[in-house]
Amino acid sequence: MKKLTPRPPKKPYITDEQALRFHSHPTPGKISMLPTKPMATQRDLSLAYSPGVAVPVEAIAADVDLAYDYTSKGNTVAVISNGTAILGLGNLGAAASKPVMEGKSVLFKRFADIDSFDIEVEEEDAQAFIECVKRIGNSFGGINLEDIGSPECFIIEQELRDLVDIPVFHDDQHGTAIIATAGLINAADLTGRKFEDMKVVLSGAGAAGLSVLNLIKSLGVRDENCLVLDSKGVIYQGRTEYMDQWKAPHAVDTDKRTLAEAMVGADVLLGLSVAGIVTKDMVASMAPKPIIFAMANPDPEITPEEIKAVRDDAIIATGRSDYPNQVNNVLGFPYIFRGALDVRAHNVNEEMKLACAHALADLARQDVPEEVAAAYHGNRPKYGPDYIIPAPFDPRLISEIPPYVAQAAMDTGVARRPIDDMDAYKRSLARRQDPTAAILQGISASVVDEPKTIVFAEGEEPAVIRAAQAFQQRGLGKAILIGREKPIYDNMKLLGIEKPDSLTVLNARLFDRNAEFTEYLYSRLQRRGFLRRDAQRLVNNDRNVFSALLMHHGLAEGMVSGVTRSYDVVLRDVRLVLSHRKRERTMGVSVVVNKARTLFISDTNITELPTAEDLADIAETTAHFAQTFGFEPRVAMLSYSTFGNPVGERMLKVREAVSILDQRQVDFEYEGDLAADVALDPLHTLTYPFSRLTGAANVLIMPAIHSASISTKLLDAVGGATVLGPFLTGLEKPVQICSLGAAASEILQMATLAAYAPTHDD
């Protein structure tokens, strides 16, 4: 039977009206500017402008490099174009290029947290364009040239690199070159080829094509093994028609004149020309295991379907997102500039480009995280012919690629400010894109220093198995999978886990300490309507109960569950075994993180209508939870009122809770009743000088579960913040409950938190 090849997902259809509406509503364009300093008081204005601004002005006048310290220069890139080669649309002018340049600026911010400004220059003469950019260039930390026609783009980039003392990077050339080179590194690895032996055909002698060729030649591809073709055919020694100083170095001594002749026996085809130029017969004439990068946009030189009709051994890449192995420039330019800016590089050299290519190639060989699998419609890609280039939305790109670029800049002497601690730099990069990274990295580092044994209660689930494997691979501790051996090992095989014996599997029904577990559980439940056989059934059949018993008897230090059962069911099961800690409540805490602050919100999922005593317990438990994360808790007991205004029956319960905390003499700041806006205002003591909070609250105690749940879910849905959890706290042993159907990344996060939480024996 013929093996069926999965069809690629259909390319999303976008109408002209949708595109225009996207760019015009609710605000025209795609970018705006936000201040990085407060502008709320006269003092703020005096510092930001006159007279305070005079101080950094004088400092920069004395030492121009201080502009990196006192202005945004070090995190700013100018995206500059004259609109002479807009996408595949041609010369439509500077104004028409603005939507593309704005889009580029958005990508800089989204993927590398670089502030970017688009500049459209109405000038087609290369020298006049150079003069214009030269005069403004050093206002920025770097310059990204975009959509400039060839051969002017070569002249412009080359001269600007000499005239300004910052990185100048023409992405249409080098971005494509870097990504294609990364793919070629892995394609060569998979086909067992050496660069010095490769026979390469390049169709398209424009800016991108020649840049790709130059970069792969620096890896060892030999001049005599490369055939370059433009619209007039093969570029050979002695040819004079349509030749220039950039094509001439690639002319070789050959009698081949056409693309069909050039492709006979070729190992690699690099297509950066026009759609449909390559035929099936040409592909059939290539060497075994051919590498075909058909990168013309929007349609490739030959489609993957046409290639597969004649070759089942080809490795294929295109410029399109609806096929595997997309050569997408967004994998390169944000991270090239991030690394260059962070060492204040004078320029971007060949070594930095190659470092980026090698880093991308290496990342594609690593195990793929859940976030990337989601981008592939649930199919987890694995290093191989259909996955030689990382996905653009791989969250690891920001922390993996710039360090290679920065190191290359340092090694080649173009870095003004070397990085001393590369591991710390990687952590800072992760925080730039995801503000939760700082918290999660700190937790992971702590767990690695003191690994724990964690029970994964739903061990037969593929996502749980993958999370357990990742837990052990990252050095977080030992993972125990609960379930039947055959389904677990079958799923391990499907997941490609080569050493299934590396994970511990326990079948509750066959465990040798079941009698002991049953007696303990019966002693807890015999006065709650349970018979001994009921306890035995729970031990044998309920994986949450069995997992909790493992913890109680010292065989594990935490557990994670919830993938196949609802939160309430899991909590009910584990409470049959575990008690809550003294003076604390079993409750849920949600952690809300954005770049400005981190908030702990309780109780989000257990106590529906808490009493004043309950609220005091919730406040203590949440404050202690915040302390485990390294935060100094400032607790606000929230209400619709602020210090009795307006007066109402429900605020009295909040006030009573504050009085209870007064009697307990707790070791953290607290205040109430407070409205949410007042609690989060760091200057609220100007209006309420008697407030006991020394700053904005970071722990918010909601008056009821509905207000807690509504507020956290609104924050999560509207955006601007990341909501972690809810995390379960208050039980005598660490238990974390995932959402139904949770992905492996969430399960791993919850397992890590279970390992991070202190254990209690009281």
Q: Name the token pair of 637.
A: 């007991």
Q: Name the token pair of 687.
A: 């209006």
Q: What is the DSSP letter of 94?
A: T
Nearest-angstrom CA–CA distance, 547 and 550: 5
What is the DSSP annotation of 223-254?
GGGEEEEETTEE-BTT--TT--TTTGGG-B--
Q: Closest Cα to residue 351, out of 419, 417, 412, 414? A: 412
The contacts of residue 279 (CB under 8 Å, 6+ apart) are 260, 302
Q: Name the token pair of 448.
A: 């690695």
Instruction: Find out whether the peptide bond into 151 is cis, omega within 30 degrees of 0.
Output: yes
Is residue 49 flagged as an active site residue? yes
CB 502 within 8 A of CB 472: yes
3-state secondary structure 597-635: CEEEEECCCCCCCCCHHHHHHHHHHHHHHHHHCCCCCEE
**Alpha-carbon dihedral of residues 97, 99, 101, 104, nearest 10 degrees?**
-140
Residue 360: CB atoms within 10 A of its CB come to 27
Annotated active-site residue in 73, 104, 247, 353: 104
CA 649 to chain CA mean position, Å: 47
The contacts of residue 243 (CB under 8 Å, 6+ apart) are 235, 251
* Helix H or strand E encompassing 97: none
Is residue 104 flagged as an active site residue? yes
Nearest-angstrom CA–CA distance, 90 and 194: 38
Q: What is the DSSP letter of 330?
A: G
* Helix H or strand E encompassing 15: none
Nearest-angstrom CA–CA distance, 189 and 492: 26
Nearest-angstrom CA–CA distance, 202 and 346: 31
CA angle 601, 606, 609 (to 5 degrees): 90
Burial tier of 395 (Cβ tally within 10 Å: 0-12, 13-18, 19+)? middle
Annotated active-site residue in 2, 13, 30, 49: 49
Burial tier of 412 (Cβ tally within 10 Å: 0-12, 13-18, 19+)? middle
Helix residue spans in 51-206 (DSSP H): 54-62, 67-70, 98-112, 126-137, 152-163, 171-191
What is the DSSP annotation of 669-738?
EEEEEE-HHHHT-TTHHHH-TT-S-SSS-SEEE-SSHHHHHHHHHHHHHH-SSEEEEEEEE-BSS-EEEP
The contacts of residue 693 (CB under 8 Å, 6+ apart) are 634, 636, 669, 670, 671, 679, 684, 685
Angstrom CA distances, 632 to 583, 683, 700, stand at 20, 18, 13
Q: Counting every residue, how long is the chain?
A: 762
Residue linked to tokens 């688009």: 118
Question: Helices (H) and strands (E) in the chain — how many of each?
Answer: 30, 21
Helix residue spans in 218-349 (DSSP H): 259-263, 280-284, 304-310, 333-342
Residues with catalytic annotation? 49, 104
